[in-house]
Amino acid sequence: MRDTQLAGCTYTIGELATMSGATERSLRHYEDLGLLSPARGGNGYRRYGEKDVERLQQVLLYRACGMGLSEIRALLESPDYSAEEALEQHLKTLRTRQRELETLVETVEKTIATMKGQETMTNEERFRGIKEQAIEKNESTYGAEARERYGDDAVDAANECMRAMSEKDWNEMRELEQGIIRQLKAAMSTGDPAGNAAQELVDLHRRWICGYWGEGRYSAQAHLALGEMYLADERFRDYYDSRAGAGATEFLVAALRAKLGDGEPGAE
């Protein structure tokens, strides 16, 4: 960039790092990814203007919300991008997670007090704490991707569906989850993702996700999209491959494609 673009208040990379809390290495990485575009002075050194500061603030806020850098870049470069609307949406997500964390903190505090003999914790309270821990774990591990793909409303509805589960429902879902792994192993042994064993696997998997997504939110298209996300994410691959054997995730998705690829509704 030309020196004429350096008019106004500017910062060196060191000054911006100190002011923002980001490392100089991170700032260079953001530039390599196209998230920042600092000007260059006559000496070739980077100079960051007010627009760069504003852009960096948005990047750091989205990172704090759990978004990946590629997602952030796509968002910022979208032709219909509105910083205000995007931040309002993420503020809603953060407030939801804040409430979840407050409930979890309360449960942990009461658990500690119970261990010390200072309070008595009911089984209902223990169970509520277990559900909140599961919700928070899912949010921290998969929340950003799920919200990006399915939207905040769908993820929030899934969380509320989990909260509404009775202990009986919860245990049944856990048993169904284990049943999926057993059926996945059995179906893999046939080597046929379109066979009867594989199609029974798809039905079990559908029942499982319907239990979390809630009534009326299932579609074959969404189910298949979820499977495709499994293949693209090492965390999902590891979940199935570590429990059912190498290639388990690919087989599951192949079975989903075989049954749902033609748009079969399959909803309960």
Using CA atoms, how far residue 216 sits from 157, 158, 213, 222, in Å, is 11, 12, 8, 12
Would residue 266 count as lying in a domain?
A: no
| Residues 20 and 56 sit within 8 Å (Cβ to Cβ) | yes
Residues 177 and 247 in one domain: yes
Gap between the Cα atoms of 211 and 232, Å rounded: 23
My answer on whether 118 and 180 are in the same domain is no
Output the domain CATH number for residue 241. 1.10.490.50
Share of the chain above pLDDT 70, in %: 93
DSSP state of 48: B
Question: Any idea what the CATH number is for the domain that residue 14 is in?
Answer: 1.10.1660.10
Are 149 and 228 part of one and the same domain?
no
Give the pLDDT confidence of 10-51 residue by residue, as tens digits.
899 999 999 988 899 999 999 999 999 999 888 888 999 989
The reply to whether 62 and 126 lie within a common domain is: no
Burial of 260 (0-12, 13-18, 19+ CB in 10 A): buried
Question: For the whole model, what pTM was predicted?
Answer: 0.53
Residue 202 lies in a domain: yes
Interval 61-91: pLDDT, tens: 888 776 778 878 888 888 887 877 877 877 8
Q: What total number of domains does the chain contain?
A: 3
HEC string of 230-259 equals: HHHCHHHHHHHHHHHCCCHHHHHHHHHHHH
* Same structural domain, 90 and 70: no
- Measure the CA–CA gap between 36 and 162, rounded to whole angstroms: 40
User: Mean pLDDT score of the chain, rounded to an integer?
Assistant: 83
pLDDT in tens, 135-185: 877 777 777 777 777 777 778 888 888 888 888 888 898 899 999 999 999
In which domain, by residue range, is 112 found?
85-162
